[in-house]
Amino acid sequence: MTTHLHDLKGCAPAPLAYYLKALGILRLVGEQADPQARGWWDGERFCLLTKLSKEELETFFLEKYEPTPLVAPWNGGSGFFKKDNRKAITAIRNTKAPRFAPFHRAIDEGDGVLNGLTAKPDKKQKWLIQREAVLRWRGTHHDWLRAAFVLDEHNEPTYPSLLGTGGNDGRLDFTNNFMQQLCALFDMSDPLGRATDSAHELLKEAFWTAPSQKLQASSIGQFQPGSAGGANSSTGFESGNLINPWDFVLMLEGAILFSSRVTRRLDPNAFSKASAPFAVQSHAAGFATPGDEKAQRGEQWMPLWRQPATIQDVATLLGEARLQLHRQTVYRPIDAARAISRLGVARGISEFVRYGYLERNGQSTLAVPLGRVHVRYHPRSYLIDDLAAWLDRLQRLSRDKNAPARLVHAERRLADAVFAALTHDYSPERWQAILLAAAEIEALQATGTGIEAGVLGGLRPEWVAAVNDGSPEFRLALALGSAAASYRNHKPSDPIRHHFLPLERGARKFRILDKELASDPRVVVSGRDPIRDLAAIVERRLIEAAQRGERRCRLVAADGCGAQLDDLARFLSGAVDLDRLFGLGRAFMAIRWDRWALEHRPKASPAGERPEECWLAVRLCCLPFAIDDNHDIPADERVVRLLMSGDAARAIEIARRRLRSVGIRPPMYAGTTDAETARRWAAALAFPIHRSTAQRAAAILDPSMKGLTHA
């Protein structure tokens, strides 16, 4: 048998009307002409493989195509009531053409469920009509019912977004419009229902994008925003609506494939709702210009596939279309991206076209394409599980009508970062963006905003490898984020996070008093000046040690996370991005450091740089431990205060004396620096170093101590 490959250039993944038109063509050819016909997407066009030649394909639609009977007697404007536009439905009622016989029977059945009602039904009557239709209708127009609405457990209708509210959008009834377009394409007075003179030219335009001047003035609703007309929709002040009748007809023929069902969330008290294929709630994440339009109807992700599929294959794909995570159907775009990144979708899909049903132009809803999402496996996608519950709480808070604008924007940036990491190729920068956005929200929480979401926490150590870009900012942030008073059996005690937020013991819950963050003198980080904040942490630790009668700066890093001298040299010279460093450090504090293991340690890449000797002397006077059994240098809290005031000379002198008192002889008698550098010197003391690094610094200052290290 000879087969023919047709490139349907008039069928593209966007707008939605053209996507549905492609499915409509495949469905009609597969059901009425060639059951073995196959279709697939190739770039921006739809390919159809069938036994029909180009001429035979056109002839089928012009002479043999039997329209699916789409009627909606529950809608005012459907043509069933006196005040409706009844011209099209009357013409179909009266036609003798065999191809419209199923449509004629459907109209009769529509009359039957109305039970003599002649005026537009009220809400209760509408529901009764819909229930009666579900009970009585069978055949193809029953499939139309499942696409237009479903009845929940209370026997009340719920509506998927694709077909508005039961086959209409505002004052536009899709079924009546469908019949009007059929009347424009076929002569209802002809005994065979032959195509009109313009139908062939319009078909070529719809299939092959051949030029045509036969477009009709009509409405296409939400499916093709570019043809909706209205103010500022063209080069002039206003334009009308011009559509190809075939586009509208085939679009609705394809929409029938999207049958819905009623689903219930995991919460047993939650309301049921219509669950359409690949439909999720709306969320302004992952696209550039969300605007302020309403999006109560959510989103729908339309699948694209590259392998030839019959209409039965496509119907099965859409019938089983559920994005799943951990055996649970997902309802949010970020969760959908998580599912896709784990291949938790039907096999064979290469990408999705993401559509948002947005309310614009008054109360009109438009299906706006929001971008493409490629189906690809991301081995690190499981890390988002650590944020999932926190993200859900933040999203609920940001959706509140009284939510502060800064929380709304911060939550959006975090959602964008997560979406980008899951839908693009891996790069440390994308995963860093997630942690930086999370740290921004935590900084907002420190002011009392969004504390109901709780503390960001429970990040697994694998996050470190995901964000490791090999930069000094990353390594210094790791040292800062892991800092604690001590590590006992690999568990941190008194982590540095207590200086950022008022937290309960264990640093996993906010300390709340009267529904507000409690006042805590240990919180010394303001979030406005990283240099001042870092120095304040050191000063606070020294003060707390002095109160306990100790002369230590209790800042210890996790195993393998201590700051290296070459990275500290870059920090002191101002060659690092302070904001990125501070944000990453803040996010690293949420890592479960009690799960830190040897395999998580990043590889060091020393560059051979080292800080000035004067600063090394200051650093050795702010240690949490003795350098060795013979060299235990007591800390002095005056050093930090002097450096922050710009008096580096006195701070260096104190450090020099401390070193000489334990037998370390630095090669300088005095030293000084400018006030800005002195402040940076104080801030650099917040990055904990390991004992081996301290021994190397001591050997640099006093060559007689080289026996302690290989420096």
Q: How far is CA 337 from CA 245, 396, 462, in A?
A: 36, 19, 20
Strands 279-280 and 273-275: unpaired
Residues 553 and 635: beta-carbon distance below 8 Å: yes
**Can you say whether the dihedral through the CA atoms of 200, 205, 209, 210 is positive or negative?**
positive
CB neighbours of 60 closer than 8 A, spacing ≥ 6? 29, 32, 33, 52
Residues 255 and 232: beta-carbon distance below 8 Å: no
Q: How many helices (H) and strands (E) does the chain have?
A: 24, 23
Q: Give the span between the Cα atoms of 153 and 262, in whole angstroms.
A: 8
pLDDT tens-digit readout, 538-561: 999 999 999 998 889 999 999 999
From the list 177, 252, 182, 184, the residue with the least C-alpha distance to 19 is 252
Does residue 264 carry a pLDDT above 50?
Answer: no
Which 8-state DSSP code applies to residue 496?
Answer: G
pLDDT at 514: 87
pLDDT at 346: 66
pLDDT tens-digit readout, 314-355: 999 888 776 778 777 788 899 999 988 887 776 689 999 999
> Which range has the worst mean pLDDT, 90-99, 272-281, 616-625, 681-690?
272-281
Q: For residue 702, give both structure tokens.
A: 């006093």
pLDDT at 291: 54
Query: What does residue 655 show for φ and ψ, rounded to 5 degrees?
Result: -65, -40
Average pLDDT over residues 508-529: 92
**Of residues 493 and 225, more confidently modeled:** 493
Average pLDDT over residues 244-252: 96
Q: For residue 114, give both structure tokens.
A: 């109305």
For the CA atoms of 539, 540, 541, 547, what is the dihedral angle to 10 degrees? Answer: 110
pLDDT at 363: 62
pLDDT at 122: 86
Query: What does residue 45 show for φ and ψ, rounded to 5 degrees?
Result: -145, 160
Q: Give the span between the Cα atoms of 541 and 638, in whole angstroms.
A: 12
Query: What does residue 677 show for φ and ψ, rounded to 5 degrees?
Result: -65, -35
Q: Give the span between the Cα atoms of 688 and 554, in whole angstroms.
A: 9
Average pLDDT over residues 484-496: 93
Query: What is the model's pTM?
Result: 0.88
Strands 364-374 and 484-488: unpaired
**Band of residue 274 on the pLDDT scale cut at 50, 70, 90:** low
The tokens 């309960």 sit on which residue? 504
Residues 174 and 252: beta-carbon distance below 8 Å: yes
Q: How far is CA 143 from CA 68, 118, 279, in A?
A: 10, 26, 18
Q: Give the span between the Cα atoms of 272 and 260, in whole angstroms.
A: 12
Q: For residue 138, give both structure tokens.
A: 């069978």
From the list 27, 531, 492, the residue with the least C-alpha distance to 258 is 27
Does residue 270 carry a pLDDT above 50?
Answer: no
The DSSP secondary structure of 626-678, one letter per residue, reads -SBTTB-PPP-THHHHHHHTT-HHHHHHHHHHHHHHTT---S-S-----HHHH
CB atoms within 10 A of CB 592: 15
Q: For residue 514, give both structure tokens.
A: 């009267």
**Band of residue 269 on the pLDDT scale cut at 50, 70, 90:** very low
| High-pLDDT (> 90) share of the chain, % | 67
Q: Give the span between the Cα atoms of 13 and 46, in whole angstroms.
A: 8
Write out the E strands in 191-313: 216-217, 230-231, 238-239, 242-243, 261-263, 273-275, 279-280, 299-305
Provide the mean pLDDT of the chain.
89
Q: Give the span between the Cα atoms of 392 and 182, in whole angstroms.
A: 47
Q: For residue 465, give both structure tokens.
A: 């490898």
Most confident of 137-141, 272-276, 425-429: 425-429
Residues 352 and 286: beta-carbon distance below 8 Å: no
pLDDT at 92: 95
From the list 441, 449, 448, the residue with the least C-alpha distance to 412 is 441
Does residue 293 carry a pLDDT above 70?
Answer: no
Average pLDDT over residues 146-174: 87
pLDDT at 254: 96
Does residue 196 carry a pLDDT above 50?
Answer: yes
**Band of residue 98 on the pLDDT scale cut at 50, 70, 90:** very high
Q: Helix H segments across 149-195?
A: 174-185
From the list 108, 85, 94, 261, the residue with the least C-alpha distance to 173 is 85
Q: Helix H segments across 164-222?
A: 174-185, 199-208
pLDDT tens-digit readout, 12-54: 999 999 999 999 999 999 999 999 999 999 999 999 999 999 9
Q: For residue 533, give both structure tokens.
A: 């904040």
pLDDT at 589: 97
